[in-house]
Copies of this chain bind each other. A is one copy, B any other.
Amino acid sequence: MHTFEELTHKFSERFEKDHFPPEPASLYNPNRYFLKLGGKRIRPVCCLMSAELFDEITEEAWQVANAIELFHNFTLIHDDIMDKAPLRRGMQTVHEKFGDSTALLAGDVMLVTAYDYLNKVSQKYSTKIISLFNKTAKEVCEGQQLDMDFESKDAVGIEEYLHMISMKTSVLLAASMKMGALLGGALDRNQNLLYEFGRKLGMAFQVQDDYLDAFGDPQKFGKQVGGDIKSNKKTFLLIHALEAASSSQKEELKDLLQSNDEKKVDGVLSIFKQCKADEWAKELKEKFTKEAFEHLEDIAVLSKRKEPLQKLAVYLTQRDF
């Protein structure tokens, strides 16, 4: 068995090959550029680790891992267009560098290329894999649409926010785990436990992400702290604060959200702390992490085999960077 660091290294090596034909370069160079920006490759590695929980990693698990990572990058390219984001991993986004139309097409063709890898799966598993992949792809699109809908909505309840995050972020992690389990020969019950393990882990990860954006150590976090606050992004913290704040705090918070001055970040952070949104977020993350671990424990394989996934879960939820 492998640690997640080992599998990340092995996967990255394989994934670095060229997935696209040389011509037309005006379409495929943007894709090559974007994939070269790198990434943590968490989702494909989750697929591989789940497969290895049950058996040796098969060639088709590697292919599905490719499909998952290409799909994830397709969503990033299109999301960046929608968000008008100038930078990704410190470099120009595809639409910024090559124009919106090319970014749109480059994303489309990356999604189609993901299906090329899915088409390498043997007939024993192909229908199930493609069905889960499609369901997940639609949910990720739905999550992104809900996220955009929320931008123009005054009040977003925590329940609908949890649903949106589950679609936009967690189901891809969950499905990656389940696909790996399926390809590793796991039975339905174990597949579904891995799905829920991945989904809860994804939720914990997102809570942590929101937390770090507000309360992270700028030295370690690697990007500007307070970015979400500046852009009025609806996060776990903001949604909780809007629900938990007193009416005077709520007024102050709303005024701050409409302002754009230097004191905005500090002001919002102060209210977050007054409402104990930071403590609440930590507890919420712990709750999701605990639930994730319970699902992992329930899986009917030797405990020893679960250690790599346990370490991954700790890495994803305890990180301060």
Contact = CB atoms under 8 A, between A and B. Distances in A.
Interface of A: 24, 26-27, 78, 81-82, 100-102, 104-105, 107-109, 111-113, 115-116, 118-119, 123, 126-127, 130-131, 134, 137-138, 141-142, 144-146, 148-149
A119 B119 CA distance: 10
Contacts of A109: 137-138, 141-142
Contact of A105 (B112, B113, B115, B144): B144
B134 A101 contact: no
A233 to B, nearest CB: 16
Contact of A126 (B82, B126, B144): B126
11 contacts: A24-B142, A78-B108, A82-B105, A101-B148, A102-B148, A104-B104, A105-B144, A111-B111, A112-B134, A119-B131, A123-B126
Copies of this chain: 2
B115 A145 contact: no
B134 A119 contact: yes
A37 B213 CA distance: 44
A104 B82 contact: yes
A115 B100 CA distance: 25
What 8 pairs across the A-B complex have the smallest Cβ distances? A27-B145, A82-B101, A109-B141, A123-B123, A112-B137, A119-B130, A105-B141, A26-B149
A119 B130 CA distance: 7
Nearest to A167: B24
Most chain B CB atoms below 10 A, which of A127, A131, A137, A141:
A141
A141 B27 contact: yes
Contacts of A148: 101-102
Contacts of A134: 112-113, 115-116, 119
Given A27-B141, A134-B115, A149-B24, A78 B102 contact: no
A177 to B, nearest CB: 20
Given A111-B108, A112-B137, A102 B24 contact: no
Contacts of A24: 142, 145-146, 149
